[in-house]
A and B are shown apart, each in its own frame.
Chain A
């Protein structure tokens, strides 16, 4: 399962035989003030030798290559490997590097918070949109929205209910407010009924939203 794309594709049906993820024209080609500004700044920086067009292209590709599947690999490993989990909770950057993730692209500290039967964790960035991009890719629109940023810290249980997530009153809800330098990833609880699944099968159960903490993983139906 390609969990980076469990939403409907917004860019329409690609012509037969073409990679649907290949770079393509933006669907809205209106040349707005801000789009002109982006083109102007980029071209000036390239003309002045500050950036190269190739660097910009490769950086976009690097962002595109980071999807929630990365975070899901980390979570599945933590479920099956207690030593890895201990390292992950102590030094998440080192743990992720041990799985081959390039964590140096982003100069930030990553902290993993673990859901337990007593505690549910959920992440926000009230001041901006800080997000563990190195493991989850770009944040979804709702994460950057004014409503989510405003309301989660005030009434997290009500916000979670909007995501269809009901946390029992006996379970504490902890809200973590990210900063530019400190990003959070939620380690969801391993779902009931997942005994005996392989590590890749476990990873396929892990959703983006569960690693932000707005959902919990459903029991496995077998």
Chain B
């Protein structure tokens, strides 16, 4: 069975031509991916597998950086580099803070 990421050759609509500048947070997602790869902590293939495991809904409906940060967090938890509890506590903390946006 084909994975939901394996879309080459499928029917689809018109190519969306509008350009948009990446936002800083999206660039930071790419920066984390590259740094984790360079440090040997997250191989590109592991990230690909993570992207292909976010679920069809997130894969197709969420934005590009959104599914990539989802993949990063899933991989880091699976590797034990961060825990679900730490992540949940950090997100709760961020929701109380006013300094989190650049």
Could you tell me which A residues sit within 8 Å of B by CB distance? 7-11, 23-29, 31-32, 34-45, 48, 50-51, 55-56, 59-60, 63-64, 105-107, 124, 126-129, 138, 140-142, 144-154, 159, 162-163, 177, 180-181
- Complex CA gap A147/B19 in Å reads 15
- Contact present for A126 and B6 (CB under 8 Å): yes
Could you tell me which B residues sit within 8 Å of A by CB distance? 5-25, 27-32, 34-37, 39, 41, 44-45, 48, 51, 60, 62-66, 69-70, 72-73, 76, 81-82, 86-87, 90-91, 94-95, 100-102
- Contact present for A29 and B14 (CB under 8 Å): no
- Contact present for B76 and A126 (CB under 8 Å): no
- Contact present for A25 and B7 (CB under 8 Å): no
Tell me the nearest residue of chain A to B77, going by C-beta.
A41
| Given contacts A34-B70, A37-B73, A63-B27, A146 and B12 within 8 Å (CB-CB) | yes
Q: Which 10 A-B pairs have the closest CB atoms?
A: A126-B8, A59-B31, A7-B19, A150-B12, A34-B66, A40-B90, A26-B23, A147-B12, A150-B10, A150-B7
- Contact present for B5 and A128 (CB under 8 Å): yes
- Contact present for A40 and B94 (CB under 8 Å): yes
- Complex CA gap A42/B7 in Å reads 31
- Contact present for B32 and A41 (CB under 8 Å): yes
Given A124-B8, A151-B12, A154-B9, 12 new contacts (CB under 8 A): A29-B101, A34-B66, A37-B73, A40-B91, A48-B81, A51-B32, A60-B30, A128-B51, A138-B27, A151-B10, A163-B15, A180-B48
- Complex CA gap A34/B66 in Å reads 6
- Complex CA gap A75/B55 in Å reads 40
Taking the nearest CB of chain A, how far is it from the CB of B95, in angstroms? Answer: 7
- Contact present for A127 and B31 (CB under 8 Å): no
- Chain B residues whose CB sits within 8 angstroms of the CB of A63 once the complex forms: 27, 30-31
- Contact present for B8 and A34 (CB under 8 Å): no
- Contact present for B16 and A147 (CB under 8 Å): yes
Taking the nearest CB of chain B, how far is it from the CB of A222, in angstroms? Answer: 29
| Given contacts A37-B70, A51-B32, A55-B35, A146 and B41 within 8 Å (CB-CB) | no
| Given contacts A31-B101, A59-B34, A127-B6, A38 and B11 within 8 Å (CB-CB) | no
